[in-house]
Amino acid sequence: MSAQPHALPGHDLDAFWMPFTANRQFKAKPRLLARAKDMHYWTEDGRQILDAVAGLWCVNAGHCRQEITDAVAKQAATMEFAPTFQMGHPIAFELASRLAKLTPPGLDRVFFTNSGSESVDTALKIAIAYHRARGEASRTRLIGREKGYHGVGFGGISVGGMVNNRKFFGSLLPGVDHLPHTLDLEHNAFSRGLPQWGAHLANELERIVALHDASTIAAVIVEPIAGSVGVILPPVGYLKRLREICDKHGILLIFDEVITGFGRTGKAFAAQSFDVVPDMITTAKGLSNGAVPMGAVFAQRKIYDAFMQGPDNAIELFHGYTYSAHPLACAASLATLDIYAREGLLTRAAEISPRWEQAVHSLRGLPNVIDIRNYGLIGAVELQAREGKPGARGFEVFTQCFEKGVLVRQTGDVIALSPPLIVEDKHIDQIVSTLREVIGKTT
């Protein structure tokens, strides 16, 4: 028997324990999506919804692209699964080689996973094992950042900096420290593109090194642009400074590009947009256009090479997933890369971003709007929290936008925007005019 009345007859919503969702609230008033094409979803009752968040930052080429659908269907009928432990299948190698051509110089070794969380935990483990392979086994500490999001594995929540993702889950990894976050409305509110103030916050890494000693630190992991927490941009010069300090102390720098990878910032990777080369890049989402779960870690060749020692018959890295380089995911990703290349999508955000910036900043001056942030095809509108009710105003704006046919993403009182990279002017206009109407009416 169902515990809750359901708004849509014929659906029993009880069994699915929904992720990162207010289950009881949702099940009392569900929002169910039924199909999708290009820039749009359609609800069960046939309403068209403009997707202003690429699903969940993943459908970069737009929904239900025929080419991807066909590639996955063909692969499913040819060989639906093949192991990659002591075995291989050709499109896994083909995909890795093609990806290695998109990454910044040197990052041409690819480890496949099935999600961003797995990519993060993989990269952290590789970092620690890399130092050990080089005879520096004391380097085990991991440095993350406040307000960072690195998925939900124990490694990811340990280096992550979102309190609700951490506090319920007991002991996290030991030997983790955090840099301060870079969000500062007092100095940077309504910056267009990267904020000018705050590069010096990277110097906090020197303080952490002085406290623990470099010989204990394996890696620093940051999102070049933090997404989940409500979009936090790196101040001009900040990431370069982090790179310099890591180099000085022999610390690996990991960029978590699960949302910034695959064109979101106007180049294939944010590392290229910001001209900073990390030692590893973690990815997922846009890698396969969200069509089949897939993640990947890109590592500098020197990292891979450090493992390639000992007898030839020895397994070099005791890590991997049953579904690493799953054939359906490889097929989806190869077709996705074809679309990205043919339609110029990996650089399209750079072309549209002036128009996008102007559009999202036109919301300045509306009631309760305390900041607007943008870079590439990312936008965020931060609303003043209601007294004693954090997140309530943001949730209302999110649900009202959905009622009016636009899907945005809400984190607390921040509305985040990350449309598919095929977005056109008319869609940008609809996103912004809907937000203007809704925010204008929200008390």
What is the rounded distance in angstroms from the CA atom of residue 308 to the CA atom of residue 149? 31
Residue whose CB is nearest to ligand PXG in the complex, by number: 116
DSSP symbol at 181? P
CB closer to ligand PXG out of 151 and 161: 151
What is the rounded distance in angstroms from the CA atom of residue 411 to the CA atom of residue 391? 7
CB closer to ligand PXG out of 288 and 400: 288
Shortest distance (Å) from residue 213 CB to ligand PXG: 28
* Residues counted in the chain: 443
CB 150 within 8 A of CB 156: yes
CB closer to ligand PXG out of 8 and 18: 18
Shortest distance (Å) from residue 9 CB to ligand PXG: 30
CB closer to ligand PXG out of 214 and 401: 401
* Partners of 113 in beta bridges: 295
CB closer to ligand PXG out of 9 and 19: 19
How is residue 224 written in tokens? 């070049």
Helical segments of 33-115, H only = 54-57, 66-78, 90-100
Shortest distance (Å) from residue 142 CB to ligand PXG: 14
- Give Rg (Cα) of the chain: 22
Shortest distance (Å) from residue 38 CB to ligand PXG: 22
Shortest distance (Å) from residue 143 CB to ligand PXG: 16
Shortest distance (Å) from residue 120 CB to ligand PXG: 5
What is the rounded distance in angstroms from the CA atom of residue 265 to the CA atom of residue 376? 4
What is the rounded distance in angstroms from the CA atom of residue 129 to the CA atom of residue 252? 12
**Which residues contact ligand PXG (rule: CB under 6 A)?**
56-57, 115-117, 120, 149-151, 223, 227-228, 256, 258-259, 284, 409, 411, 416
CB closer to ligand PXG out of 353 and 411: 411
Torsion over CA: 265, 267, 272, 275 (sign)? negative
